Structure 1
Amino acid sequence: MLWQFILVGVLALIAGLALGFFIARKYMMSYLKKNPPINEQMLKMMMMQMGQKPSQKKINQMMNAMNKQTK
């Protein structure tokens, strides 16, 4: 009798973890589709808004620095 309650609890925990994983994965994929990470064009626009004239070398340096930071 007691082992049945434990078994049901463990199965419910496993099912909840699996369901939660897939829901979180779907949410993150849709979030990244709506809000993509910063790319070179966005970086160029931000620099121009801050009053800087971005060169391709400077943009590449900043993209490399951002990529290193995320790893």
Structure 2
Amino acid sequence: MSTGGWIGLVIGLGIALFIIGAVLAFFLTKRMFEKQIKENPPITEKMIRAMFLQMGRKPSEAQIKAVMRSMQNAKTKK
């Protein structure tokens, strides 16, 4: 094999490995992000209470649980 052939092989292999690494990194990052969001939801009961109070309402515990349940159902339907 000539020198040009080796250079082409090295460049082609480098590009292929780069693409494989990028795809692998994408899926691993996506999986880690989804796990983080599931473990640490972006909205809490405390935030819902604050939202109700800002609207001028005193929320009952049942209302807060209903909002949390509806958010959980919306998240699992995706």
TM-score calculated relative to the size of structure 1: 0.66
Gaps of 5+ in 2: none
> Aligned in 2, Cα 1:63/1:24: closer, same or farther, shift over 3 Å?
closer
Q: What fraction of aligned residue pairs are identical, expressed as a percent?
A: 32
Shift of 1:18: 3.3
Question: 1:1-71 residue pairs with structure 2 within 5 A?
Answer: 1=5, 4=9, 5-20=11-26, 28=33, 37-71=42-76
Report the TM-score, using the length of structure 2 for normalisation: 0.61
Segments of structure 1 that go 5 or more residues without pairing to the other structure are: none
Larger gyration radius, structure 1 or structure 2: 2
Tell me the distance in 1 between the aligned counterparts of 2:25 and 2:42. 26
